[in-house]
Structure 1
Amino acid sequence: MNEEAQWSAVDAYLCDTLVPSDTALDAALEASARAGLPNINVSPNQGKLLHLLARMQEARTVLEIGTLGGYSTIWLARALPPGGSLTTLEINPDYARLAGENIERAGLAATATVRVGDAVHTLRRLAEERAGPFDFVFIDAKKEYNPQYLEGVLALSRPGTIIVCDNVIRGGRVTDSATDDPDVQGVRRYFELVAGNPRLSSTAIQTVGSKGWDGFAISRVER
């Protein structure tokens, strides 16, 4: 068994043991696959991790950048207490429409709102609307724009806000300073920004599994 097959086998074991099958989540994945959405959503055990992190944070407000079919949105919205709210940003109107259907099927239409448009611009509008501050933020959109997402997110944060950014290892390519891959460049610049920002305390972890070799960056807004 090669490494990737072994990673996937371990993922399957962990999910089977710790993340039972769920009707709404399974339906969201199935609807996304039927609609031809790319299979780039978080894995079930990663979704459960986000859910637990938001609960440990005792988040009442969540901001998500990158909705896709709403799979991670459902995980995060379920972490919220009664009266909590989630805002998720999606640039593709077809994806946003499907995500809305998946969210409604999960019984979370009153909790989660999908806003359609370029996330960089929507983040500015949210600041103008005096939205937030958000307790928990999940960044999982086009990596090229991670630095701009971070700037927008910080304007909507408070001391104690947790920011999680997905897909930051890029199969190990994050170490390539000479790359011309805009997504890797965006991740590297994101790391430079969080490392150099005195408001943030940050770390990152590598992950392996059914989604390959990747990882999360995690920051806490300190002031």
Structure 2
Amino acid sequence: MSVDEPVPTSLSDVLRPERCALVLWDLQNGLAGQAPALPRLTPVWRRLMTAARANGVLIVRSRHLAPRPDLMDPLTRWRIGRRTHGENRPGHYMQPGGRDTAFIDGFEPEPDELVIEKSVPSLFHNTAADARLRARGITTVLLGGVATDIGIDFTARHAMAHGYFTAVIEDACASYRDEAHEHAMAILRPAVFVGSSDEVIAGWSATRDA
């Protein structure tokens, strides 16, 4: 975005399909697959993916992989111990080839999607995400997935720090507890664009046809 371009005032202003990346966060068995809201979320994700492909929007997937147990530093072991209820089982948490790291059935990435592997709840920390998105001319990051209060929140803020317009697709997101989702959304609404999947899809179509 150059200094001569108008400043966007609504979500619809940043939905040019060729400039958008639809980021679907951690659609893996051990993460989004454990969300109580999964039955509600899956049809929303399918609609967004279908519309993204129809409008030429880049689909991006995050994939969480933990470091090899013998390469984990003490902080990582401590974090994983908290995630595994204090059992300290780093050898069994999010290791490549396991069921937890596999994508939910029916949501495996297509060859034209961009998959970003990461080991912390940000798409941009120690990954090639920024370089890959800039190479495609992406200026808007749209987020859906699980969990709103963890990776969605972290990545929304990190994306803005990297200079991207950022939007959270509210009905495409959830947390493991409803109150965690609502708390995160209350914090995010003043900071980023927030809209529904219907608004995003309509915005892509309207901008493409303009």
The two structures have a TM-score, normalised by structure 1, of 0.41
Point out the structure with the larger helix share: 1
Work out which structure has the larger RCO, using CA pairs closer than 8 Å and 6 or more positions apart in sequence.
Answer: 2
> Please, what TM-score do these two structures have when normalized by structure 2?
0.43
